């Protein structure tokens, strides 16, 4: 998993896997969902991320099964 925030365009890119993107769906006018050929999520792009997500505050937590 790879997360990138591009300050110059205020875009958040969350890549879940390195697979080839077969289709991109618009979830709304500022959110794109990239899917592989099997329909699995490859990545999500969020435009205007500063207003739509709490960009300065990021945490990651892995919870044991």
User: In this structure, are residues 22 and 36 in contact, taking their beta carbons and an 8 Å threshold?
Assistant: yes
Instruction: Locate the domains of the chain by residue range.
Output: 2-52
Q: What is the DSSP string of 11-65?
A: EEEEES--PPP-EEEEEETTEEEEE-TTS-EEEEEEESHHHHS-TT-----PPP-
Predicted pLDDT of residue 49: 92
State pLDDT tens for residues 2-56. Answer: 999 999 999 999 999 999 999 999 999 999 999 999 999 999 999 999 888 877 7
- Please tell me the pTM assigned to this model: 0.86
d(CA 10, CA 18): 22
Predicted pLDDT of residue 59: 82
d(CA 31, CA 45): 6
58 pLDDT higher than 80: no
């Amino acid at each position: 998993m790879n997360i990138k925030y591009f300050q110059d365009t205020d875009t958040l890119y969350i890549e879940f896997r390195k697979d080839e993107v077969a289709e991109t769906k618009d979830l709304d006018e500022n959110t794109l969902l990239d899917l592989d050929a099997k329909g699995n999520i490859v990545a999500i792009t969020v435009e205007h991320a500063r207003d739509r997500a709490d960009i300065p505050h990021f945490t990651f937590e892995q919870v044991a099964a």
